[in-house]
Structure 1
Amino acid sequence: MPAETSATDTELNRDIMLGWFGRAEKPAQQLVGTEQEKFVVAVDADDGSIRPVEYERHVAPVLDALCRRFGWTPADRGIAGETVGLSRGRASITLEPGGQLELSGEPLPDLHATCAEFTAHQRELHDVGSDLGLTFLATGFHPFATREAIHWMPKGRYKVMREYLPTRGAQALDMMLRTCTVQANFDYANERQCGERLRVAMASSALVTGLFANSPYLEGRPSGYRSTRSAVWSNVDPDRCGLLEFVFDGDFSYEKYVDWALDVPMFFVHRDGHYWPHHVPFRRFLEAGFVAPDGRRHRATTADWELHLSTVFPEVRLKPYIEVRGADSVALGQVCSLPAFCKGLMEDDHAIAASWELLAPLTFGERLSLWEDARRHGLSSPRVHDLTRRLYRIARDTLDRIAVRGPSGRTEARFLDPLDEFVTTQRTPADVALETLTGPWDSSAESVREFTRHFYFAGVRP
């Protein structure tokens, strides 16, 4: 018989999978984490031309400079030992497939600390980018680069995903190479609160997409969507993406989420630094294991389960926290608005009840239709705007009521201020872009510079 090996000494069973979520419960102090992805482009010092970055020439020097100058430490290695991730305390910087740079911020007690963290991050990127001739862009979909122009990062898992995902959705590679998000992460005290927060977050996800829509361009021309990123994500992989209908049933349990994840096909089995393609439902891997080409049998372990849960991509994902994933990447002043908006909808039982009362009447079909409206029209859709406006009031009232004050004496509701004008005028960041970048697009260096200026986040100002 083939020799049996595993990633850890602990072989997986259903009790362990369920307990994984239970152990993540935080009944005492609950924290908030925020993540943001940015595109990186290289600005030629001689002629000012702008192009997507390459790992060796551009990305590796960024990571090296962050380590040398700001105390980051290499934390993940690529196919040939390249640095592809950094850590500092409980924060991390990682690379998406097309070189998008993601900060996963520390879990923090309040949004005032989160805002300070991202302000410091922007300054670090600005210093490094300015020295290296790089610009960081905050938008949900790359505004001018073609898919073919973007270079792949040297991470082993991306090779398997690159081959498998296009068999599931025509725009899977666009998702990998040309999208960026802001995400907000929330702890939960117990199974009941997890289910209630997950339900409200999933139900409001379409409105998050509309409110934070910031990607109206595809290769320099209006795409017809306020959030091209969201449109792309709708054509990636129906097995692992989208809204989860069972979340709205009202009797959530960890077991239901486990059963859903068990039936999602895997990307790979990871052993000894190698990613073996293995595209069967995790349930089958749990039952039968996996025999590698070298003849060794691998049984499912806790490490496999954790890895698998990181490869499912619903609009709201359950990990050791609840991850809200439906927003485009936005400017620094709006980054903290996402966790503020979501926190205001589900911070306590009162906020959850008020939010769900507003969102409960929708059927699942209406939720899908609302999501399509939001990605295409943003807040100019009357029903998207009406629900967003009412949820926005709930969020602001909640943050003022719980009154977590910062150094200025203001509550966390101040982080909603950048959204006031959007909610009032039924516009989004995408509408501002469409009004500002009037074209015509002609693929010239000046046209590219205009897009780069508008979505500028840090680094060289073209």
Structure 2
Amino acid sequence: MSIPQQGGGPIERREQLAEYVASGEKPVADWRIGTEHEKFGFTWDDLKPLPYDGPRSINAMLEGLRDRFGWRPVLEGEHLIGLQRGDANVSLEPGGQLELSGAPLETIHQTCDEVNAHLAEVRQVADDIGAGFIGLGAAPIWSQDQMPMMPKGRYRLMTDYMDRVGTLGKQMMYRTCTVQVNLDFGSEADMVKKLRVGLALQPVATALFANSPFLDGKPNGMKSWRAHIWQNLDEARTGMLPFVFQDGFGYDAWVDYILDVPMYFVYRDGKYIDALGQSFRDFLKGRLPALPGEVPTLSDWADHMTTVFPEARVKKYIEMRGADGGPWRRLCALPAVWVGLLYDGGALDAAWDLVKGWDDETREGLRRAAARDGLAGEAGGVALRDLSRQVLDIAEAGLKARARPGAGGLIGDETHFLDALRETVETGITPADELLARYHGDWQGDLSRIYRDYSY
């Protein structure tokens, strides 16, 4: 979840909303890679989720990272709720999931170095307090009642609202983790093409990274329960966005979509003001019931944009949101896929050629098949395992064309970051399949084994 935005003058013209998105345009030389990943913390002696307060807690983790590794604190009231260091930040999801929002970096080599350094810091602090962290798409054993709530006003409001829409919203907030990558665009046309490819191919990411086959201590019938949750949440702010594929889509159409999404809150003077279900269109007219007579600032618009959750979304960059959290080495594989597909012109053209003939039903069918069946899924005559192989071929070609070596030129290009995914496609075994085999095999149904065998 995002840290609240600051600054920005009042919005005086509707055009400013599209201009805000367009201000993210960058020349190719300035395109960067921003990787985010979440993980569950737990106490080793009883395997319970970390609470916010106490000697073994999320707060203790944040204080340890702050004091030992030079992170600056982010406070909400008196509570430590995040950290910043350079262009990177550490933030909290509602149930205490610890998230790194990485700095914008030039290569996947740098991204992987950042991930490795962060997880090493987390492990040092966690070891000292008797805690561990694990990368999974959904909490495998903990019930909803066991999950703590982090002391952030945004989450209190969202928790109340989730009971009014969909059926699984609170599970999403408190019991899921993701890895995602944020990428730049060079123009409106470039944004449109990348968003269309990103949305259409999110089911490939979901299938390749499927890693949430358990809930409440037993198999849940899905390879990605996290992806299943997003299919049963708030329809106003989730999904595959068929309108993106219609003629004429661009910045203005994206703004119209965001304006039609009901609001959650307005952030003022360090506090979240309840605006649940209210309209940003009314806010533009000074008619928001939560703040009568006030008009929004650009920071209010930036905050509102963080409350939509489609499979891919646009802010000043594009976020790829379809993958479950997972094992250490796969955290570098997700940016490799999307950078390979989207940051080389030839690869982007090839990816678009792959998906441009699909209709809305095929895209939605693949989304649901990926959650349920992983790589074994298919829809509209498209088999996800075959599609994934084609996608990796295109991504590899794109990474080769980028030709970005590692430090000092001593490490080859970025293609080796796809190796884990190649293995998945060749065997057909996703992380979820591996976990289920362990559960039914050597674990003999003892799901507590997952923590020792798969923690970072």
Note whether the superposition's TM-score is higher than 0.5. Answer: yes
1:358 and 2:354 aligned: yes
Match of 1:272 in 2: 269
What do the CA deviations read for 1:412-454 (whole angstroms, capped 9, x no partner)? 11100111110111121111111112279999xxx35302123
- Residue of structure 2 in register with 1:401 after alignment: 401
Does the Cα contact within 8 Å between 1:213 and 1:430 map onto a contact in 2? yes
Runs of at least 4 residues off by over 3 Å: 6-9, 439-443
Q: Could you list the per-position Cα deviations for residues 6-58 of structure 1 after superposition, in whole angstroms to 9, with x for gaps in the alignment? A: 986423431211110121111141101100000111122xxxx2111110120
Counterpart amino acid of residue 38 in structure 1: K
Distance apart, 1:290 and its partner CA = 2.4
1:32-181 pair list within 5 angstroms: 32-44=33-45, 49-57=46-54, 58-75=57-74, 77-78=75-76, 80-181=77-178
- Tell me the TM-score normalized by structure 1: 0.92
Q: Distance in 1 between matches of 2:30 and 2:300?
A: 29
Per the normalisation by structure 2, the TM-score is 0.93
Contact 2:58 2:96 in 1 (8 A): yes
Query: CA distance change for structure 1 residues 271 and 376 in 2, over 3 Å: closer, same or farther?
Result: same
- Cα distance in structure 2, aligned partners of 1:257 and 1:163: 27
CA contact (8 A) 1:291 1:298 kept: no
Task: Quote the Cα distance in structure 1 between the aligned partners of 2:316 and 2:406.
Answer: 27
User: Is residue 221–residue 441 contact of structure 1 (8 Å, CA) maintained in 2?
Assistant: no
Q: Give distance in 1, aligned partners of 2:288 and 2:441.
A: 54
Q: Which runs of 5+ in 2 are unaligned?
A: 1-5
* RMSD between superposed Cα atoms in Å: 1.8
Q: CA deviation at 1:289?
A: 2.9
Q: Which residue number corresponds to residue 346 of structure 1? A: 342
Aligned pair count reads 441
- Within 1, Cα distance between the matches of 2:194 and 2:365? 22
1:284 deviates by 2.3
The C-alpha deviation readout for 1:264-306, integer Å capped at 9, x for no partner, is 00001222222222212322222243244xx863222211101
454 and 220 in structure 1: CA distance in 2 versus 1, 3 angstrom threshold = farther
Residue identity opposite 2:385 in structure 1: H
Moved more, 249-258 or 54-63: 249-258
How many Å separate the matches in 1 of 2:397 and 2:78?
Answer: 50
CA distance in 1, matches of 2:287, 2:333: 44
In structure 2, what residue type is equivalent to 1:61?
A
Q: Which has the higher contact order (CA 8 A, sep 6+)?
A: 1
Unaligned runs of 5+ in 1: 1-5, 458-462
| Alpha-carbon separation, structure 1, partners of 2:198 and 2:161 | 29
Equivalence for 2:22: 22
Alpha-carbon separation, structure 2, partners of 1:102 and 1:9: 29
Partner Cα separation in structure 2 for residue 401 and residue 7 of structure 1: 39
* Contact persistence 1:268–1:277 (CA under 8 A): yes
- Distance, in Å, in 2 between the alignment partners of 1:148 and 1:376 is 25
Q: For residues 163 and 277 of structure 1, do their structure 2 counterparts lie closer, same or farther at Cα, with a shift above 3 Å needed?
A: same
Identity among equivalent positions (%) equals 40
Aligned residue for 2:3?
none
Deviates more, 1:280-289 or 1:305-314: 280-289
* Partner Cα distance (2:423, 2:7) in 1: 51
